[in-house]
Structure 1
Amino acid sequence: MFRALLSHKVSIAVCLILIVVECLSFLGYVFDVVSGIFFALNILAVIVLAFWRFEFGVSALLAELVIGGKGYLFSVEMGDYTVSLRLGIFIVVFVLWLIQLIRGRQRLFFSSALFRPWIALFGAILIGIVVAFISGNQAKLLFLDVNGYLYFAMLPVFIGSISSQQEIRRQFSVLVGGAYALTVKTLFALLFFSHETTTGAIRIFYKWIRDTGVGEIVQLDFGFFRIFFQSHIFLVLVLSIFLTVFVMLRNKNTDKKELIVSFLVAVSLLSAFIISMSRSIWAGAAVGFFSFTIYYFFRINNKFTDSLKLAGMLALVGIGSIFLLTGIVNIQIPGRSGGGGSAAALIRERLTSGEEEVAVSSRLKLLTPLVQAILEKPIFGHGFGATLTYETDDPRSIETGGKVHTAYAFEWGYLDFVMKFGLVGLCAFVYFLWCVIRLGILALKKSGTEHVPIILGALLAYIALLAVHITTPYLNHPLGIGYLSLIAAIFITHTPQSHREYGT
């Protein structure tokens, strides 16, 4: 069922390699003297891989995105600046791509349907930069703000290097291996924090996760902890494609062993997705799943008995995930504490908690001043690095500066666009995003039947990303841009040659 889509051996190998990388990151954090050495070794490994075969360098870049959060699993200090592993990999891959481009390779993107929208998108970014200089915004904040958007320069790299069915299979295998490693880390963190009693061990593990920018850990009720990593967004992409492949191919040459393995993998991935406790990502995934439901009934199968059987299978995966999370928290380990609640109760509380919840109330308090600032300069915006002062309920902000908080990045993703480069820039951005959707729909219509599951899964995952960005910005961050770039490469590869070029 999944053999045509990915290589399980590659995925497992990638997972094991990334677990080793995570362990080295932790050692480098604890023993600072070796951190720089580990950073250099990782960059050297990427250089060797990319010289051996450029696509392997792209694989390394993708794998780091899936596990790296903000990109600081390894970093080195250079004067007043901190150079992250992600930046190092970006530079290596981008420079080698430029060399290939000069030699006449990697030119697929520049004749594709996304080239002109991509130029328009960079026009929006340029508006934000120019307005920032005119407005006298702080140079440091300008750089920090625009920095994430520059990852859109990787779109031609992804599309140029992932241009065949074989390459999609390889990169998807890497993506799945990264998702496995991310799941292992998530579930291990849940086990550790729900059972560890040694204050020193808890502090160092917590600080490693926080200081490397991977995510955040929050203690909840019922003995649970929220284990949220920014990279959990990639679980939506993997689960979406797994879902469509399973639904459309489950009756074709699938043995019981493969079904059992698929079930266990799905349960594990969904467990990591659930314990992230990110309602924004949950909501985005729900939008994607709702879109799939509509497609399923109108284009795949509208027989009640088959639909009921499928619903039962999916419900079984959900129940299995709840049991797994509950088991992890409640398992008895000698000399360690344990929880006493159920994951189902935790999910119910998370879904029903109201506006008093800190994250929700902080977003709502930001909304009014953000809209007011937008109305002051609606056409071209305030430029990158523009700040806004507002009242917040975030305890971390209150700890450092009281209830009044000043920021240059805002949780309302699309409003953040308008704040930075105005309605003109927003139109350019929306045009680009729409062209990606249009390309996906075209690929869905024109590709062969055997390719429909992966295209449909990628399209649903893309819709989910657009929904998530409403309240949790990803499209101005390397994680969301890398996610989008991989999806765009899948769409273009599956679009017939006659429809790839702009204007078609």
Structure 2
Amino acid sequence: MSFLDQFSGKAFLWTVAGLLCLDVLSFFVLHTAAEPILFSLFVVCAIGVSVWKPEWLFPIAMAEIISTSNGHSLNVELAGISIGLRIALFGVLMVATLIHLSRTRRNPIPERYRLPVILLVGLMLYGVIRGLLSGYDLRILYLDANGYLAIGYLLAAFVWVQDARSRKRLMQLAGAGVVVITFKTLLFLFVFGHLHPKTLNPLYTWIRDTRLGEITLQMGNVYRIFLQSQWFLVPALFVSASYMLLAEKTRENGVRYVHLVVFAAIVASLSRTFWLALACAILLFVVYIVWQKGWRTLASRVPDLVITKIGAVALLWIIIAVPIFQTTGTSIFGSLLRSRATGTDDIALDSRRKLLGPLLTSIAQEPLMGHGLGTQVVYETSDQRYIDGQGTNIVSSYVFEWGWLDLLVKFGLLGTGILLYVFYAIAADLWHASREDRAHTWLYMALFFSFIALLIAHMFSPYLNHPIGWGMIAIIVALVPRTNPAARQRTKDIKAMPVLRPMKQLTTRHH
């Protein structure tokens, strides 16, 4: 089975079409009376799926996370809070999951994950209770806890993905999400770089108000296209590279095209967090390849990997250089990439530096147990857009760019230790799976190093308190076979035993 065959099929095509239709409908009904009506129709459809095909809900939810960033393609307003389509879909998924559990009366969580899950749920309950007892603003507490509700995706993963067929379904729909977010990245790069600014206001408003991402002019006609769910391009890059290095039997052009366009979209994001996480994880991945396969295997694929990277940069240059309404030449493209990779004086970095001191002070006040969910920290910002909009440079926020410090503020050293234990259990499971299932080592190790990259990225951007982070973790645990390590060892021991053949029946001769 080729690389593309692992992810393609009717489900893949229908999902790509469905996600693109969702974007188009979202664009046209944004801030109109039709938006809540369409929202309700989608919820009704989700309920229908939960009744007739509940096993599809989890992969659909993952595809939505990958393609829409913050889940606000369609919204309704309740009690002053914007309720997005994602939270509605999540609610339907969890109700369907709980109904299924009540009928089967079987614990779907593998034994090796039960203690980590109990500790994780207990930690979240502690964070909410601590926030309530501290008297934090209930709206802020809800918004802060909302990111951790995504832990429920883990339960759904255990329930709805239990065999090869369901894993194939998940891979197809996740692949569809990656295709859509890649397409949108490159499309926006072209559109914002070439169409007249006066024609772009509706598109920019849609991207901003649905919280899909941020479009920022860098120089000339080059824009930064940052969509938060571009994070899933990182595992897509590892999956394609890992397949080429560990699984490819004969040369496949399809996996190289995937690697090329995914890398192009990552570069177009101009996200230093992505780049740093990738660089660190790739270094570890190279060490693993050399350790397992030797220098020869790595060297044999280096030309392909280098050519795809060059091709990705060439693709971006072509998108920018197309002679349609340009304010400047394309010679600035290279200097932009260099300045983005090495620059240390932009607003985002300055705000992070100013936030660091107040965060450390807050941690020192409750180092062991943390302050609970809903905690806010006050700091100064240099973001002129915020200053112009709010009339002050003082920010009071419950979400912090320093992700691991965010965890220390909310949960303290004990809570962060629990999370590290949970993450260790997941990483160890991937490692064991890669050793036992050699046919899919390429997939498990791609997920392993993608997971490492996620933990690194969380240092500078909060992903582990967001559906994007927990959605990726849910996909990881869903794709690992359910057999526990002890059972795998027993099976291995049985296979290693000598074969006992029955003795031939003795016959006696009568003289």
Distance of aligned partners of 1:120 and 1:389 in 2 relative to their CA distance in 1, 3 Å threshold? same
Give deviations 1:129-179, integer Å, cap 9, x for gaps. Answer: 222223221111111111111110220111221122222122111111111
> Equivalents in 2 of 1:16, 1:137: separation in Å?
43
CA distance in 2, matches of 1:89, 1:181: 19
SS at match of 1:232: helix
Cα distance in 1 for partners of 2:78, 2:364 equals: 40
Q: How far apart, CA to CA, are the structure 1 residues paired with 2:239 and 2:484?
A: 18
For 1:282, which of 272, 275, 279 is the aligned residue? 275
Q: Which residue of 2 aligns with 1:268?
A: 261
Aligned residue in 1 for 2:367? 378
Equivalent residue for 1:117?
116
Structure 1 contact 329–338 (Cα < 8 Å) conserved: no
Distance 2:184 2:66 in 1: 12
Equivalent residue of 1:203, what SS? Answer: helix
AA of the residue aligned to 1:177: A
Q: Would you say the 8 A contact 2:178–2:233 is kept in 1? A: yes
Give the partner amino acid of 1:42: F
1:221 to 219, 241, 247: 219
Does 1:17 pair with 2:8? no
CA contact (8 A) 2:225 2:269 kept: yes
- Alignment correspondent of 2:468: 479
Of 41-50 and 308-317, more deviation after overlay is shown by: 41-50
1:36 to 1:337, Cα distance in 2 relative to 1, 3 A: farther
- 2:421 corresponds to: 431
Seen in structure 2, the aligned counterparts of structure 1 residues 96 and 466 have a Cα distance that, compared at 3 Å, is same
- Distance in 2 of aligned mates of 1:253 and 1:460: 24
Does the 8 A contact of 1:227 with 1:276 survive in 2?
Answer: yes
Q: Which moved more, 1:459-468 or 1:483-492?
A: 483-492
What does residue range 2-401 of structure 1 map to in structure 2 within 5 Å? Answer: 2-3=3-4, 5-29=6-30, 32-104=32-104, 107-109=107-109, 111-199=110-198, 201-250=199-248, 252-254=249-251, 259-303=252-296, 306-333=297-324, 339-341=329-331, 343-354=333-344, 356-399=345-388, 400-401=390-391
- 2: CA distance, partners of 1:413 / 1:372: 16
On the 8 A contact 2:408/2:415 being kept in 1, the answer is yes
Amino acid at match of 1:424: L
Once the two structures are TM-superposed, the CA of residue 95 in structure 1 deviates from its matched residue by 0.4
What amino acid is the match of 1:16? A
Give the deviation of 1:278 after TM superposition. 0.9
Alpha-carbon distance change, 466 to 486 in structure 1, aligned in 2, over 3 angstroms: same
Deviation at 1:194, TM superposition (A): 0.5
RMSD value, Cα:
2.0
Identity of aligned residues (%): 30
Aligned residues: 488
Q: Is the 8 A contact 2:126 2:372 kept in 1?
A: yes
Query: Which amino acid is the alignment partner of residue 340 of structure 2?
Result: R
Residue 504 of structure 2 is matched in structure 1 by none
Residue identity in the other structure for 1:432: V
Greater RCO (CA < 8 Å, at least 6 residues apart): 1
Check 1:342–1:247 CA distance in 2 against 1; reply closer, same or farther (3 A cut).
Answer: farther
Letter in 2 for 1:351: A
Show CA shifts across 1:26-57 (max 9, x none): 01116x12212221222223223332322211
Task: For residue 272 of structure 1, report the CA deviation from its aligned partner.
Answer: 1.1
Please tell me whether the aligned partners of residues 238 and 449 of structure 2 are also in contact (alpha carbons under 8 angstroms): yes
Tell me, yes or no, if the aligned pair for 1:123 and 1:425 is still in contact at 8 Å.
no
Residue by residue over 1:297-337, the C-alpha shift from the partner in whole angstroms, topping out at 9 and shown as x without a partner, is: 0102322xx4333111111111111111111111023x665
Query: Quick one: which amino acid aligns to residue 311 of structure 1?
Result: V
Change (3 A) 1:277 1:451: same
Q: 1:470 deviation in Å? A: 0.7
Contact 1:227 1:277 in 2 (8 A): yes
Question: Counterparts of 2:334 and 2:482 in 1: how far apart (Å)?
Answer: 41
Q: 1:338 to 1:332 in 2, by over 3 A?
A: farther
Aligned position for 2:507: none
SS at structure 1 position matched to 2:219: coil
CA distance, structure 2, for counterparts of residue 382 and residue 413 of structure 1: 15
* Structure 1 residue 406 displacement after superposition: 1.2
The structure having more radius of gyration, on CA atoms, is: 2
Name the SS of the counterpart of 1:108 in structure 2.
coil
Distance 2:160 2:189 in 1: 37
- 1:370 CA displacement: 0.6
TM-score normalized by structure 1?
A: 0.92
Aligned partners of 1:226 and 1:234: how far apart in 2?
18
Find the aligned partners of 1:112 and 1:7 in 2 and give their Cα distance: 32
Q: TM-score with structure 2 length normalisation? A: 0.91
CA contact (8 A) 2:182 2:265 kept: yes
CA distance in 1, matches of 2:144, 2:88: 19
Mapped to 1, the partners of 2:105 and 2:156 lie a distance apart of 11
- For the 8 Å contact 1:163–1:493, the answer to whether it is kept is yes
